[in-house]
């Protein structure tokens, strides 16, 4: 019976092309817009590193002054001071943990005519790559020795490798970062965690850095931070050295703790460190403490999926509702116009239920067509976003879930919208339409 209803539906939709077009367009617009909003929401809510989400922990220290206020829910600052970073990194070699921050350079090859490129860089240690599952196309991270003795080595990403050399294995070659030559030791594969969970400064959906250099170089070459510098203490920081010794909070700190035991162990170590700093009277607060948060907790804590994105979804679904209400009107008119034929079908033995199903199948088909067109609209909408707003590149990409859910949502929504018109038409008294033509 379903295939019969489907045939009838196709015929019926073809017989009123204008009405059909209007309804399909209304549904497609509604679906297109709500899918665009849903995709943005879905992608911003996606876990950027699901395979390690519960093993990677952001480290926070309540190191600030007695009266300091932070915009976090527990009033703990989200970055740490350079001296704490270096202190922590020195111990607990059993686990991988590392400090990091963002800086930037003007980059060029040794070719004198090469026009310099401005690129952001991540200053960190070699652990960064294995902790965050960054894969190498060529070469490898710099060695452990390089993390201790300042050496001008750099890891770049594939994009930059293409820009500088047109691709290929260029490990061993040298490039200029500002006025110093660095040797390339590794080239990483494209890596774009969204959101950029390891450093949420300056926007959660920023692109990843294209260059990575050893953290030890920071003090030697006085590499400034391109992220936020949160000061709470009244200090005079005239030089970079002053800053390194200050209480300014500007580094991110992450630890990889494979299991609960490791986490417990590391937490104890941090607590010990905090107590020590309290004794030294560096940490002033009674509630001075260390906090570990895994990736999901970290994203929730930073409210990365902002309320705006839910508002957007809500508004777009309201729009979809308006589109559907419009379609209900059109459907009702169309169905009631076909009431004489329905009367004939009833006289020939169709039950109310069969007439109802027939019309719902028609509505479902309409929803399917509208949904597919809506998918095209959503794709266009996302492409438009991508092309016009930087930072949307990866967020505005539909994944399979979204791709499949669009037609399903469209069909469900239109069938819902079609229930009333179908119910109306199946309840009309057939005899009224049979008297004359």
Partner 1 sequence: MLVMSGINKVYQTEQVQTHALREFNLSVAEGEFVAVTGPSGSGKTTFLNIAGLLENISSGDYQLDGQSIVGLSDRELSRLRNEKIGFIFQGFNLIPDLNLYENVDVPLRYRGFSNKERKQKIEHALETVGLSARMKHLPSQLSGGQQQRVAIARALAGEPKFLLADEPTGNLDSLMAKQVMELLENINKQGTTIVMVTHDPELARRAQRNIQIVDGQLCDFTIYQGGTVNNDTDKNAVA
Query: Tokens for 146?
Result: 């390089």
Give CA torsion, residues 159, 165, 170, 174, to 10 deg. Answer: -110
State the nearest-atom distance from the C-beta of 365 to partner 1, in Å.
15
Cis peptide leading into 195, omega within 30 of 0?
yes
Nearer to partner 1, 348 or 400 (CB): 348
Say whether residue 220 binds partner 1 (CB under 8 A). Answer: no
Among 173, 352, 386, 424, binds partner 1 (CB under 8 A): 352
Residue with tokens 């030559």: 181
In terms of CB distance, is 201 or 358 closer to partner 1? 358
341 binds partner 1 per the rule CB under 8 A: yes
Residue 202 or 431: which CB sits closer to partner 1? 431
Select 1 or 260, whichever has its Cβ closest to partner 1: 1
32 Cβ contact list (under 8 Å, min separation 6): 373, 374, 375, 376, 377, 378, 380, 381
Interface segment toward partner 1; rule CB under 8 A; list 21-29, 86-94, 210-218, 347-355: 347-355
Q: Which of 318, 322, 325, 344 binds partner 1 (CB under 8 A)?
A: 344
Find the shortest distance in angstroms from Cβ 367 to partner 1: 21
Q: By CB under 8 A, is residue 337 in contact with partner 1?
A: no
Least Å distance, CB 12 to partner 1, is 7
| CA-to-CA separations, 239 to 16, 36, 179, 225, 245, in angstroms, rounded | 77, 48, 20, 13, 10
Whichever of 229 and 357 has its CB closer to partner 1, that residue is: 357
Two tokens, residue 62: 């309540």
Largest CA distance in the chain: 101
Give the integer Cα–Cα distance in Å for 77 and 254.
14
Q: Taking CB under 8 A as the rule, does residue 90 contact partner 1?
A: no
- Tell whether residue 1 is a contact of partner 1 (CB under 8 A): yes
Question: Does residue number 405 form part of the binding site for partner 1 (CB under 8 A)?
Answer: no
Per CB under 8 A, contacts with partner 1 among 408-437 are 429-431, 434-437
Which of 271, 351, 383, 387: binder of partner 1 (CB under 8 A)?
351
Residues 188 and 137: beta-carbon distance below 8 Å: yes
Query: CB neighbours of 29 closer than 8 A, spacing ≥ 6?
Result: 319, 323, 374, 377
Q: Which stretch binds partner 1 (CB under 8 A): 80-88, 93-101, 198-206, 352-360?
A: 352-360
Using the rule CB under 8 A, which residue among 354, 368, 372, 393 binds partner 1?
Answer: 354
In angstroms, give the least distance from the CB of 430 to partner 1: 5
Q: Of the ranges 10-18, 46-54, 58-66, 154-162, which one interacts with partner 1 (CB under 8 A)?
A: 10-18
Q: Which is nearer to partner 1, 1 or 400 (CB)?
A: 1
Task: Give the residue among 191, 204, 192, 195 at the shortest CA–CA distance from 45.
Answer: 195
- Residue 158 in tokens: 């594939």
| Helices of type H across 226-306 | 240-245, 260-279, 295-301
What stretch of H or E contains 287? none
Tokens of 182: 């660095």
Residues near partner 1 (CB under 8 A), total: 26
By CB under 8 A, tell whether 350 contacts partner 1.
yes
Query: According to the binding rule CB under 8 A, does residue 345 interact with partner 1?
Result: yes
Backbone angles phi, psi at 393, to 5 degrees: -45, -55
CB-wise, 96 or 345, nearer to partner 1?
A: 345
Between 9 and 274, CB nearer to partner 1: 9
DSSP E strand stretches across 230-386: 249-256, 290-294
Residues paired with 139 in a beta bridge? 186
Which secondary structure element, helix H or strand E, spans residue 212, and what is its range? strand 211-214
**Residue closer to partner 1 (CB basis): 268 or 431:** 431
C-beta of 237 vs 341, nearer to partner 1: 341
3-state secondary structure of 425: helix
Q: For residue 205, give the H/E element and its range.
A: none
Complex with partner 1: residue 181 or 431, whichever CB lies closer:
431
Residue 19 contacts partner 1 per CB under 8 A: no
Closest CA to 363 of 417, 424, 406, 423: 417
Instruction: Choose the binding region for partner 1 from 35-43, 113-121, 344-352, 375-383 (rule: CB under 8 A).
Output: 344-352
4 touches partner 1 by CB under 8 A? yes
Closest CA to 273 of 127, 96, 95, 60: 60
Min dist. Cβ of residue 340 to partner 1 (A)? 7
Residues that bind partner 1 (CB under 8 A): 1, 4, 11-12, 15, 340-341, 343-354, 429-431, 434-437
């Amino acid at each position: 019976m379903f295939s019969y209803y489907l045939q009838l539906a196709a015929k019926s939709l073809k017989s009123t092309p204008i009405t059909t077009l209007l309804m399909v367009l209304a549904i497609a617009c509604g679906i297109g817009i709500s899918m665009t909003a849903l995709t943005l929401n879905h992608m911003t809510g996606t876990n950027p590193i699901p395979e390690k989400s519960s093993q990677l922990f952001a480290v926070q220290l309540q190191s600030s002054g007695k009266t300091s206020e932070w915009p976090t829910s527990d009033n703990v600052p989200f970055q740490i001071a350079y001296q704490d970073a270096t202190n922590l990194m020195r111990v607990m070699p059993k686990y991988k943990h590392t400090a990091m921050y963002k800086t930037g350079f003007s980059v060029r090859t040794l070719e004198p005519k090469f026009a310099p490129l401005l690129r952001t860089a991540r200053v960190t240690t070699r652990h960064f790559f294995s902790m965050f599952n960054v894969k190498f196309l060529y070469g490898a991270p710099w060695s452990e020795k390089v993390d201790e003795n300042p050496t001008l080595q750099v890891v770049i990403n594939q994009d930059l490798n293409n820009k500088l050399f047109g691709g290929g294995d260029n490990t061993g070659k040298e490039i200029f970062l500002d006025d110093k030559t660095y040797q390339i030791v590794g080239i990483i594969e494209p890596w774009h965690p969204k959101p950029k969970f390891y450093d949420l400064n300056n926007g959660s959906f920023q692109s990843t850095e294209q260059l990575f250099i050893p953290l030890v170089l920071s003090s030697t070459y006085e590499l400034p931070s391109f992220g936020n510098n949160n000061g709470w203490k009244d200090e005079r920081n005239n030089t970079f050295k002053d800053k390194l010794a200050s209480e300014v909070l500007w580094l991110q700190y992450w630890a990889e703790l494979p299991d609960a035991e490791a986490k417990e162990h590391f937490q104890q170590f941090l607590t010990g460190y905090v107590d020590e700093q309290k004794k030294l009277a560096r940490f002033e607060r009674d509630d001075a403490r260390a906090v570990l948060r895994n990736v999901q907790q970290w994203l929730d804590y930073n409210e990365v999926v902002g309320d705006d994105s839910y508002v957007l979804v809500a508004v777009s679904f309201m729009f979809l509702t308006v589109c559907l209400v419009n379609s209900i009107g059109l459907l009702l008119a169309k169905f009631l116009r076909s009431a004489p034929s329905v009367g004939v079908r009833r006289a020939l033995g169709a039950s109310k239920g069969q007439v109802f199903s027939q019309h719902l199948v028609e509505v479902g088909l309409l929803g399917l067509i509208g949904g597919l067109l809506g998918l095209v609209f959503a794709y266009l909408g996302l492409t438009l976003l991508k092309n016009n707003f930087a930072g949307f590149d990866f967020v505005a990409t539909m994944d399979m879930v979204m791709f499949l859910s669009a037609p399903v949502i469209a069909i469900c929504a239109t069938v819902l919208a079609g229930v009333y018109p179908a119910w109306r038409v199946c309840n009309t008294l057939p005899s009224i339409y049979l008297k004359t033509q």
